[in-house]
Every structure is written in C-alpha cells, then in structure tokens.
Amino acid sequence: MALFIAGRTAQGALVLLAVSVVVFLLSFLSGDPAALMLPAEATPAQIAEFRQEMGFDQPVFVQYWDFLVGALTLDFGVSYFHGDDALGMVLERTIPTLQLTLAAMVVALLIAIPLATVAALRRGSVIDRLVGAVAMLGQSLPHFFVGIVLLIVFTVRLGWLPAIGSPTARGLVLPALTLGLYATAETMRLLRSNLLEVLHEDYVRTARAKGVSRAGVMVRHAMRNAVIPVITVLSLQVGTLLGGAVITETVFSYPGMGLLAVQSIANRDFLVIQAFVLIVAAIVVFLNVVLDIVYGLVDPRIRFEVRQS
Amino acid sequence: MAIRQQQERGAPVLEVRDLTVEIRTKRGTITPVDRLSFTLRGGEVLGLVGESGSGKSVSMMALMGLLPAGAARVTSGTAFLGGTDLLSVSPKRLNSMRGGVVSMVFQDPMSALNPVMRVGDQVMEAVRVHHRGLGRKGLRARAVELLELVGITDAGERMNAYPHEFSGGMRQRVMIAMAAANEPAVIIADEPTTALDVTVQAQILELLQDMKERIGSAIILITHDLGVIAEIADRVMVMYAGGKVEEAAVQPIFDAPRHPYTASLLASMPKLSGAVTTMRTIPGAPPDLLALPQGCRFNPRCPLADGRTECHTRAPELVHLDGGQQSACHFPAEVEKAFSRSSDQIEEGGERA
Ligand SMILES: Nc1ncnc2c1ncn2[C@@H]1O[C@H](COP(=O)(O)OP(=O)(O)OP(=O)(O)O)[C@@H](O)[C@H]1O
Ligand code: SF4
Ligand SMILES: [Mg+2]
C-alpha cells in the first residue's frame, strides 16, 4: 500500500511538472506582458527597461527555469494589479473554494445515493422516472443557468437566502446546490444503473438464498459493489467540479479562487493566474491520489493486485 | 452437534405438486417447468438429471423464490416444506425460510461470493440472518466452526480473507458452509462441481455427503454426471423439456430404465465403470420450448416412436410402475428390449454429435 501511494504521488508530481510547462507557455504566448502592463504612453526605452527588470528579455527556457524555481520555492511573484504576493492571494481564496466544492459533493451524495437506491429498487416506478428526468436535466443545464434560476427563486422571489455567496451555512446553500447539481445527476444516473446491474450478480442471488432481505442485499451487497465505478467517475470529475466552481463563484460573487481567477483574467494579472492554475492542478492531482486510495480500500481486489506486484 | 436432530429418514420433507413456471422471452412465453411434481424424503439424496435447458435450475429457483423478477413467474403449484407452501408464503416468511430450512449451493463458486466482502462476514451473515440474538462473538465462533467443518484449515485466519484469495474448491466449501449454517432440512445443490477442477470435484461431493450425514438434511443434487448419481444419489428424477419423464431409485433406473430418454442418456454414457462418466450428447436436439412437438415431447428423438400414433397424438401421463418407478411413456415395457438392440447404434450417434 505504501508503495502504491508513493507510486501515485510520483505520478502526480510528473503531472504537475507538465502542467507547469503548459501554464508557462500559455502565459508566454498570450502576448508581451510589458506592453500590457505599462501605460500606453510608455516610451520604448521605458518598455525595454521594464522588460529587463522583469527578465522578459531572457531566452524562453531561462524564463521557464526561473518560473519553475519560483514555483518550487512557492514564489510566484507579486500581483501587478494588487501588489500582493500572487500565491498568497490565491491560497487565501483556496479554502472557501474547497469548502464550496466539498459542500457540493456532500449535497450530491446526500441526494444521489438514496434516490438512486429507491430508483433501482422500484425500477420503472414514478420515482424511477422522476430520478431519470432530474438526472438528465442536471447533466444538461449549465451552472450559470442553474445558479441564476436558484437566485431568482430563493433570493429574489422568496427572500430566503442571500444573493451573495459566502463560506457560511446560509451562504453556501445556493452555490453548493448549483455546483452540486451536475455531480448529483451524474452520480445518480451511474449508481442507479450500476445497482441494477449488480442486482443480477450471482452473489446477490446467494445473499437472497441465505435469507437476506431486499434492503439488506441492497445495503450490504449491492451498494458497495455498485459504488466502485462511481468513485472512478467522481475522481475524473474533480477537475470538472473545480471548473464549475469558477462559474458558480462568479454567479454568486462567492469569495473563492475562481472569482479571483476571473477577475485576474480581466485585469491581465497573469502571475496570479499562473499561481491559480498550478494550485488547481495540485488539488486535482492530490484528490485523485486520495480517491485512488479510497478505491483500493473499497475494492479488495485492487489492494490484492497492488500487494502482488 | 446437530441442533435439529436428524429428519426422520424416509418421511416426506418437501412435497412439490404441479409446479409450473412461465418465462416471457423476446420470442414469446415459454413454460420451462410444466406441472412438475415430486417428493423429497428425509435424509435422502435425490438426483436431478436432464439435458441443458430441461428446466432443472428454473424449477429449483422457483422453489427458492429466486426466479428473475419481472420476466419469470410461477403460474401454478404448491411446494410444502414443514407445513408451509414455499410458493405462496409472504416474502418476509420466505426470507426466514431461505437459508433456514432450505438452502442452496450454486454452480459457479467464483461468482457466487461477494468479491468485496470478507469470507468470514459472508458466513457470519448466513448465521446472523436466522439468529438475530447472537452477538458478534457468538457469530464469529459459529462461522469459524462452520469453516472448520467444511475443511478449511486456519479457519480463524481465513475468516478475514476475500473470495479472490481462495481457490474454486475452497470457495465452494465456503458456499457449503453457508448452506449448512442453519442445518436446513433441504439443501439444493445445482451442479456444485461442474465449475471445478476434476481433482476437487470428488472432494466437494464427499463434503456434501458428509455435511448431509452430520446435519441430516435431504439433498437435491442437480448434475450432468451420471457417475455421480450412481455413486451418491438414492433416487433419480429425469427431466425433459420442463417435465419429469422418469423417477426411480438409482439401481432400478440404471438396470432397467422405463423411459426411452433415460435409456438414451444411459446409453450415451461410457460403459467403463470407474472412469469419468460425463454424460455425452444423445442424438437429436432438445425441443424448442416455443414449438413443442405434438403428443410426446420426446417423439422426434425416440427410437420407439416410429409408426406409433399415440406418440404423436397424446402426451403420455406419468404412470406408476412396480417398485415405485415412474415413467411418462406410453410404452414403458418396451424400452428395455428396444435399447438392448439399438444401443450400439445410439452410441455411434452420440460420438458423431
Ligand atoms: N432468465 C431467463 N430468461 C429466459 N429464459 C430462461 C431464463 N432462465 C432460463 N430460461 C430458459 O428456461 C429453460 C430452462 O432453463 P434451465 O436453466 O432450468 O435449464 P437447466 O436444466 O438448468 O440446464 P443446464 O443443465 O444448462 O443448467 C431454458 O430453455 C432456458 O433457456
Ligand atoms: S411416448 Fe412414445 S415418443 Fe414418447 S418416449 Fe414413449 S415411446 Fe417415445
Ligand atoms: Mg442449470
């Protein structure tokens, strides 16, 4: 198991390195930062001086090296726009975003697991069809639309919840619902079909033959087996979820790093954006390793294979 | 050690009458089990044989209430076990009977155990469902005891293993441990050795017999292996196209079958005693359940049917012959003569098929 974790961590580090190259090249290719950052009336001499000061006159790989060393020593430079440490700005906003993402995930699981179970148990019933419809809607509606509809209903019409999101219980409800809807739909659809499939397995028949009730079979036998592929899909979705967080935070002016990123893009504050992208990548990689470990815990066959190799 | 003392030997424990199952398929509704009746007696091993598709598994699944929901249903019949009709009890009561008074061992031990649940937990579950009061310690002790009974060494340690860490033979031992956990009156074993290595087949059969002696269960043993029947069954029931065509004690049926189908099965069995005696195919194909022949279902393949109108117009009822033998053939007395004459021919046919 330790070997497995070490291997996955090394893999993750490689992914991050690759991301750093991409991030650097993208910001390198997005235009001359000196021209963007200096006022329009700057003289060529001023521009040249600025370029030299910032190191923009160096060859690409030297610039990349500086960037990488900076990233490794957690120095992403200073925001042009705010004058604050870029990394510090992003990190400060990371926790609220993680809170939002976690809340969305919890919402998704709390809604999806029971509904998928009922739908699978009562296949073809009204509930089953309702679940199917909700799953389809949830997967086809974009976040900004869901967010706006929720805002209109619960804030403008009913006045129950604040319009501005915040990492508090009340402030999280609407953003978490907005962000969680897609994951809810995906989990529900997948879990329902997995459960139906698993219910035909021989070991379910064995359990029934032992005298285990339908509910017992569902909870002790079907669920655990059906959840395994869901974990895989969820781990693939961490990135999507964080991407959705950017939109959701913008809709609700939620003080997370997504909102910061959108603002920084508008301000061409590209050191902040670099820090943002690398942090998001690090989070995705980290969560993937964690989910892989969870996967191994749920499915002993994986653990066994790892131990063997 | 047996909690329930030996069932009175010879007294009926399970009485099945007119069991009929229908299954809706894409091509139409079939009746894979058609008015099947039989009686299982205390402590006996009843062999159940017949070609693939003759309805052996479906009839047993019907008794266990394990038919695939939706498509399949029992359309008539009763199956009394200890005064309760398995086919009409409430689902709740059925749950308390399954694994309690009647249990089942399936064909493929590789898929019959839950891959993500520890072996010990699965055995404990079999006990717990029927002994709600038992604490975790008691459950565990009982599970270890059961695993030891079925010949798993280091049972205490192996409790924590997962099924994939066991060989096929060991998994089938676990299945037998679970089936025997509550000392049921009836154990149904559906081809319990078919999926196993030849070398472990004999061990598993021996274990089944051993458990039966220990807890006094009666066993219904489905098999394709007539050699196994000869060795461990007390009586045999032969199914063809959803119905019982012959039933008798083992010796009489091997000596003098009273149904041409049984005779064909025996004829297609290699004569070398002691060698592997797996059933070989007999000439012709089993009938399509959607297009059953008129009259006797076996007539297209029956060497006796030629020129006999009864065979083509009237379905034979099961008749009781002397010695408790039953046969669903219009001409049970002619089987012996016909097959001693044509058995060489049939064996050739069998080789070609
Ligand atoms: N779930 C199902 N859906 C449709 N048809 C089925 C289903 N289960 C069984 N049948 C059909 O019912 C008939 C009897 O099948 P059954 O499994 O009882 O045969 P069997 O005697 O056990 O054969 P085998 O020796 O191959 O196990 C076959 O024609 C089979 O195709
Ligand atoms: S009734 Fe006729 S066709 Fe059927 S088994 Fe007997 S002899 Fe053969
Ligand atoms: Mg079968």
Q: Domains of chain A: which residue ranges? A: 1-76+268-309, 95-255
Question: Across chain A, what does the average pLDDT equal?
Answer: 83
Position A73 pLDDT exceeds 90: no
Q: Which residue has the tokens 């993750």?
A: A12
Chain B residues in contact with A210 by the CB 8 A cut-off are 98-99, 103, 125-126, 129, 178, 181
Instruction: Indicate if B35 and B163 belong to the same structural domain.
Output: yes
Instruction: Indicate if B155 and B283 belong to the same structural domain.
Output: no
Which domain does B182 fall in, by range?
Answer: 2-224
Instruction: Indicate if B190 and B271 belong to the same structural domain.
Output: no
- Please give the structure tokens belonging to residue B152: 């798993």
Instruction: Indicate if B214 and B306 belong to the same structural domain.
Output: no
Please report, for the domain that includes residue B86, its CATH number: 3.40.50.300
Instruction: Indicate if B93 and B133 belong to the same structural domain.
Output: yes
Instruction: Indicate if B204 and B289 belong to the same structural domain.
Output: no
Measured from the Cβ of residue B161, the count of other Cβ atoms closer than 10 Å reads 18
pLDDT in tens, B313-324: 999 999 999 888
Instruction: Indicate if B99 and B174 belong to the same structural domain.
Output: yes
Q: Is residue B230 included in any domain, yes or no?
A: no
Instruction: Indicate if B245 and B212 belong to the same structural domain.
Output: no
Q: Quick one: which atom of ligand 1 is closest to the CA of B50?
A: 21
**Could you tell me what percent of chain B has a pLDDT over 70?**
90
Instruction: Indicate if B177 and B326 belong to the same structural domain.
Output: no
Position B26 pLDDT exceeds 60: yes
| pLDDT category of residue A13 using cuts at 50, 70 and 90 | confident
- In this prediction, residue B319 carries a pLDDT of 92
Instruction: Indicate if B159 and B256 belong to the same structural domain.
Output: no
- C-beta B316 within 6 A of ligand 2: yes
Q: How far apart are CA B147 and CA B155, in angstroms?
A: 6
pLDDT in tens, B240-286: 999 999 999 999 999 999 999 999 988 877 655 444 444 456 778 88
Q: How far apart are CA B223 and CA B249, in angstroms?
A: 16
- In this prediction, residue B315 carries a pLDDT of 93
Instruction: Give the domain-ending residue among B224, B249, B265.
Output: B224
| Structure ipTM | 0.87
CATH 2.40.30.10 fits A95-255, yes or no: no
Note whether B83 and B169 are within 8 A (CB): no
Q: How many domains does chain B contain in total?
A: 2
- In this prediction, residue B30 carries a pLDDT of 95
- In this prediction, residue B174 carries a pLDDT of 96
Position B341 pLDDT exceeds 60: no
Average pLDDT over residues A98-127: 89
- Please give the structure tokens belonging to residue A208: 């029934």
The residues, any chain, with a CB within 8 Å of residue A243's CB and separated by 6 or more, are none
Average pLDDT over residues B35-64: 95
- In this prediction, residue A299 carries a pLDDT of 80
Burial degree of B69 (CB within 10 A; 0-12, 13-18, 19+): exposed
Q: Quick one: which atom of ligand 1 is closest to the CA of B58?
A: 18
pLDDT in tens, A228-284: 888 888 777 777 888 888 888 988 888 888 888 888 888 877 788 888 888 888 888
Closest CA to B212 of B59, B93, B105, B94: B105
Distance in Å, alpha carbon of B64 to nearest chain A alpha carbon: 7
Amino acid at B71: A
pLDDT in tens, B217-247: 999 999 988 989 999 999 999 999 999 999 9
Q: Is residue B85 included in any domain, yes or no?
A: yes
Amino acid at B132: R
Average pLDDT over residues B29-53: 95
Instruction: Give the domain-ending residue among B170, B189, B224.
Output: B224
Of the ranges A49-53, A94-98, A255-259, B23-27, which one carries the lowest mean pLDDT score? A49-53
Question: Taking CB atoms and an 8 Å limit, are A202 and B104 in contact across chains?
Answer: no
Note whether B320 and B244 are within 8 A (CB): no
- Please give the structure tokens belonging to residue A8: 């996955």
- In this prediction, residue B5 carries a pLDDT of 42
Q: Is residue B231 included in any domain, yes or no?
A: no
- B46, containing H or E segment: strand B45-49
- In this prediction, residue B347 carries a pLDDT of 44
- C-beta B30 within 6 A of ligand 2: no
Q: Is residue B187 included in any domain, yes or no?
A: yes
Instruction: Indicate if B67 and B173 belong to the same structural domain.
Output: yes
Q: Is residue B52 included in any domain, yes or no?
A: yes
Instruction: Indicate if B341 and B210 belong to the same structural domain.
Output: no
Average pLDDT over residues A211-230: 89
DSSP A84: S
